[in-house]
Structure 1
Amino acid sequence: MPIDNAGVVAADERTLVAQLLSRYPDNLEDGDLAYLDNWFDRIATPLDLGLLAADPAITAQYKAYRATHVDRFKPKDIGKAVLFAGAVAAVAGAISLLAP
């Protein structure tokens, strides 16, 4: 079911995120950082990210936040890579056993 005011809600959230980013990294409380982490990870759309990235008032903070919290490998990413490599190795091994 569509929400009639979804655009307004998204704009309000983006404004809040921009305000928080303007204080990044020195003047954020733990709850603020947790909010940003959740918003970037679960809520932000490509449009949101583009609009924030284009805001000259927070460009430096946006880039710093992304470099530290978003655009880096996390332990779960490394775990997924190890599992993928293991699966590829298992399939390659199985194929080599089946080859005449």
Structure 2
Amino acid sequence: MDTETDGASRAERRARAEELLARYPGLAPDELAHLHRWFSHEASALDVGLIASNEAVAERYRLYRRDHIDLLRPIDLVHALWFAALILGITVFIGWWGT
């Protein structure tokens, strides 16, 4: 694919995300799903940075981020518990082996 075409389509997809964010939280379920999909699978760090620095949608982006991105999910808690158990296990092993 041509990089100019790819850049234009990327910019169009980012513009669509900005349009949706401008109306957040009053989005239809399919529009919200589109926004989730774009942020989780398509958006690059540059895209996110450009949106976060766009004063027209920055406040709505922060609301969206608070409501959907920055949440602790159950899998995050499972990972934290697994990591804590691993560290505890290593500490007990070192204590047992060192005596």
The alignment's TM-score, normalised by the length of structure 2, stands at: 0.89
Tell me the number of residue pairs that the alignment of Structure 1 and Structure 2 aligns. Answer: 97
Distance 2:77 2:32 in 1: 23
What amino acid is the match of 2:16? L
Runs of 4+ residues deviating >2 angstroms? none
Structure having the larger proportion of residues in helix: 2
**Residue 62 (structure 2) aligns with:** 63
**Residue 24 (structure 1) aligns with:** 24
Deviation at 1:21, TM superposition (A): 0.5
**Residue 86 (structure 1) aligns with:** 85
Structure 1: give runs of 5+ residues left out of the alignment: none
Percent of aligned positions that are identical:
34
**Residue 15 (structure 2) aligns with:** 15
Structure 2: give runs of 5+ residues left out of the alignment: none
The alignment's TM-score, normalised by the length of structure 1, stands at: 0.88
**Residue 39 (structure 1) aligns with:** 38
